[in-house]
Structure 1
């Protein structure tokens, strides 16, 4: 997203109306403006990055609509910048390889071809990779290392099996393992010695280690893993990868509450 917003800001003439762009990709929602950024909210930069940042937080919190809006922003921006341009490999603009590389790290492959509409029209589509992107794979590896150091063998085994299931495209099995791992980590953080997630989350909130919104979010995500593919606009692999990301984020936060 950083690459895309810098691209837009660097050539504002491509977008005669920033408001029209944000409306087109469904980023003009009031809930995306709740984030606090040290920017002038009335400037072009502020009007651009504030909803993008807010949508990114919402997507990380599990909002499928925010996730889709951010992907749409990438696709629309690339289409606008490549309209009328040659798609020959040697004539591609220098920003395109950098954006492709950034998307690969985030787990997406960008496909570009000529559209069937007006002359010079370009079509851009983002497709999720069938494997974990490098950055997320590293985060999972670090989480596994911390679980091992802390002696949380059961949670560690579940995480390792989840990754194996994901690589073999056994997505339902992966998500069951993710939920089991997160339940184990929640119990460890609560120190209750039982796997009742509601009781453990309530204990973490009551003892001040989680805020009420954070506890609600954790409990929602634990229960959401029992739902069959809750994000129908995504591929099955994409939805499961997002759950891996949520699990890694929650687990890292919970482990930070427990001193070694």
Structure 2
């Protein structure tokens, strides 16, 4: 039975070194039985919607992601973490979400649906991504992507067993975050693991933002199996395959779902393709 953890995190914006230390410490403190640790959106870098973002951006094969790979290998678990990515060979920035397997193979999803001022700095990705994880085939999702029902339907057509969602949801709209996590679990009859940023962004000359936290694991029937409030705590939950099978028999919507759009599926767990993606 796979076990997931969400180490709910208060991110240090524009400070990758501090964030990497926090991720390292939080993973080390998890129970040995954890198979996947899911961190929030921009967990490694933080973000502001101006030119300062460039200085915090990371390269996919750079030393910071290598450190995450070392952490995953040392603790024999997968790490899912968001970061601001500098594209290889160009000046574009992306809101990226990395799935780093224990053997260091890395799959990266680039957020497709950008929110508000984010689009002034970040380039949208153009592919949905599914990766094989201890929870089964799993879609990678970032924050505002939750609002797009077409994406949820496409993942249903792929019959994914889980969604791993990295979020940085404003506290003022935290009920929407929780509602959408539940909706995406139910409409695809799958587990949803939502990692919400907590704390606040308090960067000079940038809007002050309080974050919701409220990380949750949601069952395939839409019920919340485990959840946090706003503290920097660890959520640990088992994703029982029997529950998934039972709910899919009870709610057979996947039998009638058609494919919607382009989804990239990796050939093996956590692998890069020939282009390094």
Indicate whether the TM-score tops 0.5: no
Greater relative contact order (CA < 8 Å, ≥ 6 in sequence): 2
Normalized against structure 2, the TM-score is what?
0.25
Between Structure 1 and Structure 2, the one with more strand by share is: 2
Between Structure 1 and Structure 2, the one with more helix by share is: 1
Whichever of the two has the greater Rg, that structure is 1
Normalized against structure 1, the TM-score is what?
0.26
